[in-house]
Copies of this chain bind each other. A is one copy, B any other.
Amino acid sequence: MANELQGRRVAILLAPVGTEQVEFTEPKKAVEDAGAQVDVVGIQTGDAQTMNSDVNPGETFKVEKTFSDVSPDDYDGLIVPGGTVGSDNLRGSEEAVNFIHGFFEQQKPVGAICHGPWTLVEADVVRGRTLTSYPTLQTDIRNAGGEWVDQEVVTDQGLVTSRNPDDLPAFCSKVVEEISEGKHAEQARSA
């Protein structure tokens, strides 16, 4: 169990400001604990200011690579943390949206939590998929063609989604499992 992601590479996104701290740190730790090598990818390198409960400044963390440094080819899985401002920020980056879209084209596992699924709406990859999110995104997800459900964790052909920080234990466990399983043949069907 401890090494099920040995040799796997995972990208985790970090917005310049407004990523929810625990939705970044906990999934990162979970895949690292399982043996994965993780890159923190963002719009610009340097310190990023995370938030707690969206409005209280959390710790800062380093963005190690920008979207122009990397490709979905380099990774076995992707994690998109939440945070209202951070997720809104990431969906506003065409490079971020293209990077996310590439994981769906390549049928590689993706985990997105809380407000993170806004980036999936922007990448137009929710059509025909079942997923969850922070509840305020449900209209945007349905309008984008997804089926929104209110569950702790939802897995649909390599896409793992959860609602909020309380769901992190279930989310992290499923993300590790899906990245361990590898590519999902059906995942690209609506990418």
User: Does A51 count as interface, using CB distance less than 8 angstroms?
Assistant: yes
| Distance between Cα atoms of A51 and B136 in the complex (Å) | 20
Q: What chain B residues lie within 8 Å of A144 (beta carbons)? A: 139, 143
- Would you list which residues of chain A between 117 and 160 have a CB under 8 Å from chain B? 121-122, 124, 135-136, 139-140, 143-144
Segment with Cβ contacts to B, from A3-11, A85-93, A99-107: A85-93
Closest approach, in angstroms, between the C-beta of A14 and any C-beta of chain B?
Answer: 15
User: Does A185 count as interface, using CB distance less than 8 angstroms?
Assistant: no
- Would you list which residues of chain A between 71 and 106 have a CB under 8 Å from chain B? 84-85, 88-89, 91-92
Residue of B nearest to A51 (CB): B55
In the complex, the answer to whether A55 meets B140 with C-beta atoms within 8 Å is no
Closest approach, in angstroms, between the C-beta of A98 and any C-beta of chain B?
Answer: 14
Closest approach, in angstroms, between the C-beta of A48 and any C-beta of chain B?
Answer: 12
User: Does A111 count as interface, using CB distance less than 8 angstroms?
Assistant: no
User: Does A54 count as interface, using CB distance less than 8 angstroms?
Assistant: yes
Q: What chain B residues lie within 8 Å of A161 (beta carbons)? A: none
In the complex, the answer to whether B143 meets A85 with C-beta atoms within 8 Å is no
User: Does A17 count as interface, using CB distance less than 8 angstroms?
Assistant: yes
B17, B121, B124, B135: the one contacting A140 at CB < 8 Å is: B121
User: Does A109 count as interface, using CB distance less than 8 angstroms?
Assistant: no
Q: What chain B residues lie within 8 Å of A139 (beta carbons)? A: 91, 121-122, 124, 144
Chain A interface (Cβ < 8 Å from any Cβ of B): 17-18, 49, 51, 54-55, 57, 84-85, 88-89, 91-92, 115, 121-122, 124, 135-136, 139-140, 143-144
Extra 14 A-B pairs, beta carbons < 8 Å, given A84-B88, A121-B143, A122-B136: A17-B55, A18-B55, A18-B84, A51-B55, A54-B85, A55-B85, A84-B84, A85-B85, A88-B136, A91-B136, A124-B139, A139-B144, A143-B143, A143-B144
